[in-house]
Chains A and B, each alone.
Chain A
Amino acid sequence: MEGKKEIVIKLQQDILLWQGLKPQAAAKEARVGLGEIEQAFPAGVFPKRAIHEFITVLPEDSAASDGFIAGLLAVLMQNGAACVWVSTARRLFPAALSLFNVEPERIIFMDVKTEKDVLWVTEEALKCEGLAAVVAELGSLSLIESRRLQLAVEESGVTGFILRKDASKAPSTVATARWRISPLPSDTLDGLPGLGFPRWQVELLKVRNGNPGSWVLEWAGDGFEEVKKVRGRSVWSEKLDRQIG
């Protein structure tokens, strides 16, 4: 039985290699600070050459997603590269990004008029190798559009983040990972009054060749921190009896 399992694991790793995923050796440098969540990805590495899709229906969700992405950008932009943020009706407050260790002046905002322009700029930006990441705010994304973006990413290696407002057509894209970030009540030390660190329910709804899951994560000032046990309070997704995955 043990032998069989090993063979299966070996075969899985071979398949991943054939699909172009880096082996474990490079994994240490490729950490993005997500801790255990990274184990959910194939070979335990956060896929940088990929499109990550975030479903944000409410402004509160998109604010939380902005925070989560900003935390990832802090790591992705460490080498000094710039980031492009494309949107039609941007609400992101650049000054807030500095709280997530991102230098807001290294982000180039492109506030275009139509969704079509967003897609065009996003594709062009994803082809640009000098960038670390591209964030695009979109209403919806069709299969063909997402495939074009994915092809652009595979060539250049730029990480693409898509904030999508329309949740209904979720399964029709080829994004590598699909996330939903929702805000959770924060916790302060020893029950002091006031607000604590921003805390989110991070749901990985879909991940290609990986295991979807759900975690509770906190931005602890200079990095992500996973919250294992929430004192005296159940996790929000459990409370609503929400389906995950």
Chain B
Amino acid sequence: MQRRFVSIWFRQLLADWQLIRRPELAEVPFVFSAPDHGRMLITAVSPIAAHSGVKPGMRAADAKAICPGLEVLDDKPTRPRNLLRGLGEWCVRYAPIVAIDEFGMDGLLLDISGCAHLWGGEREYLKEIVSRLKSKGYTVRLAIADTPGAAWAVSRFGKVTPLIPEGGHTEALLSLVPEALRLDDVVLAKLRKLGFYHIKSFIGMPRSVLRRRFGEEFLLRLAQALGTEDEVLVPLQIPVPFQERLPCLEPIRTRTAIEIVITKMLESLCKRMQNEGKGLRTGVLKGYRLDGKEVQISIGTSGATHSVIHLFKLFQLKIDQIRPGLGIELFVLEAPKVDDVAIPQEHMWSIKPGLDDQSVIRLLDRVAGKVGLEVIRRYLPASRYWPERAVLRTAAVTEKPVSSWRLDKPRPTELLRRPDPIEVMALIPDHPPKFFIYKGVQHQVIKADGPERIEREWWLDTGEHRDYYQVEDDQGKRYWLFRSGHYGGDQKYQWFIHGFFA
């Protein structure tokens, strides 16, 4: 199929936008200016100001002298891009791939291959876009051609017709000026100096000569306009391949109805995904309300899945977040992220369940959806002695430990997050405590094991080492105590409780 492109040129993008926002400026000449090397340079000009001779690139002070009563407004460098993005997202209704014109930053490029017939032909298509944009307040020039480069050139410099027939773009380019090829100023000045005022005067020259004179960039632009080189458009919205739409006859407001909608859409979406061997990783349900507002909920899964029941349960947890208002008239279900689904082999007999069991993964998805992913923790052994760092936190269900758990040293079943200071009576130098007072209760130590010295990891933090004792009091309760630091005249030491043994 022949590819067709539309170039939309907003002749006075910023001025039009300002006039839409502030209609009272219609009778006033105004310009946008931005600081540049300590002076204010004009970046965009309103039609009235342009009429009195103000041009972009002038100094704001000069412009004020030429045109009395000129209003100078501040410009932001990101504004044209933001405006174009908004307009481009609106233009998605005409074609799936819409890109911002990065060269001039004042237009859009649309890949309309196979779209125009939906509006009854290219002429009607162009008319529709122009009239819709005009009714919004934007003055635009459009052109349709076989290549983005040619469409760009004709929309800005074409004088005959905006509709270049298939295969006619080379002919249309011949009579245009070199500026139509999207070249930078240096190359343009060179061309003019050499007397090339039209494309036809150099298009037939050998490539090697052109490359030597004007560089590789020039040849690329020429080839893009002629269609011998492909030009890649960066779409504003990446089209979602897995999407379901469900318009409703009556606006929907109740939970039951929303549940039915979700099931219906999931059924057809999952069937498609199943046929292509894909599974959903993230899903977004959008609802378009009667009052024009949009509500949306999103889910995520830890593994690709196309199970309707599981996905429905994940959405069900979030239905409360939908505010239907007066009612929702259109639902769109998208799967922005899909992965290849691993199809498990059927088992003749039930195998050992494990961490990667389907039901466990579904449970984790539900918990992550309702409470949050950060609450799910797994721990792997870390080959370190310091108790607080002896376990390594991991979120992934499939991660396997690289080292084994240590079994040679006693470790308490309950470990305090932060050791609590206690008062003790202990014999010097390294005897376990005779008794200790924790939370106002005195514990008489009957049996004890230790000390087990654990040095601080000096490359991470400074401080004293710990001497751990495992003690049992007169009632049989077992504790993990430690002394931080050595005994000594000037040295600081303190006893702590750090855990409870089973």
B375 CB contact (under 8 Å) in A80, A111, A130, A236: A111
Residues of chain A lying within 8 A (CB to CB) of residue B414: 59, 62-63, 66, 91-93
- Nearest Cβ distance between residue B464 and chain A, in whole angstroms? 22
**Interface residue? A14 (CB, 8 A):** no
Chain A interface, DSSP helix/strand/loop, else mixed: mixed
Are A120 and B370 touching (Cβ within 8 A)? yes
Q: Which residues of A contact B378 (CB under 8 A)?
A: 105, 107-109
In contact, A109 and B377 (Cβ under 8 angstroms): yes
A198 touching B377, Cβ below 8 Å: no
A124 and B363 in contact, given A82-B354, A95-B411, A110-B377 (Cβ under 8 angstroms): yes
Mask, A199-243, CB within 8 Å of B = 1, is 110000000000000000001000000000000000010000000
Question: Taking CB as reference atom, which chain A residue is nearest B359?
Answer: A130
* Closest residue of B by beta carbon distance from A67: B502
Q: Are A131 and B360 in contact (CB under 8 A)?
A: yes
Top 10 nearest A-B pairs by Cβ distance? A67-B502, A130-B357, A63-B500, A98-B405, A80-B352, A93-B415, A130-B359, A185-B476, A94-B379, A91-B414
> Which of A180-202 touch B at CB < 8 Å?
182-186, 188, 193-195, 198-200
8 pairs across A/B with beta carbons < 8 Å?
A79-B353, A84-B363, A92-B413, A95-B381, A95-B391, A104-B405, A183-B477, A194-B447
Q: Interface size (B, Cβ < 8 Å)?
A: 54
Question: Complex Cα distance A133/B449, Å?
Answer: 34
- Apart from A93-B414, A105-B379, A108-B376, list 7 A-B contacts with CB within 8 A: A81-B354, A82-B357, A91-B414, A92-B413, A96-B413, A108-B355, A108-B364
Assuming A63-B502, A124-B367, is B476 touching A82 (CB within 8 A)? no
Does A64 interact with chain B (Cβ within 8 Å)? yes
Tell whether A64 pairs with B502 under 8 Å between CB atoms, given A82-B355, A124-B363.
yes
Interfacial chain B residues near A108, Cβ < 8 Å? 355, 360, 364, 376-378, 397
Q: Does A135 contact B (CB under 8 A)?
A: no
For the complex, what is the distance from the CA of A70 to the CA of B472, rounded to whole Å? 21
A8 at the A/B interface (Cβ < 8 Å)?
no
Query: What 0/1 readout, one digit per residue, does chain B (359-393) give for beta carbons within 8 Å of chain A?
Result: 11011101100110001111111000001001100
Interface status of A128 (Cβ within 8 A of chain B): yes
Query: Beyond A60-B477, A112-B371, A128-B362, is A95–B357 a contact (Cβ under 8 Å)?
Result: no
Distance, CA A23 to CA B478, complexed state (A):
40
Beyond A81-B357, A98-B405, A109-B379, whether A121 also contacts B371 by CB under 8 A is yes
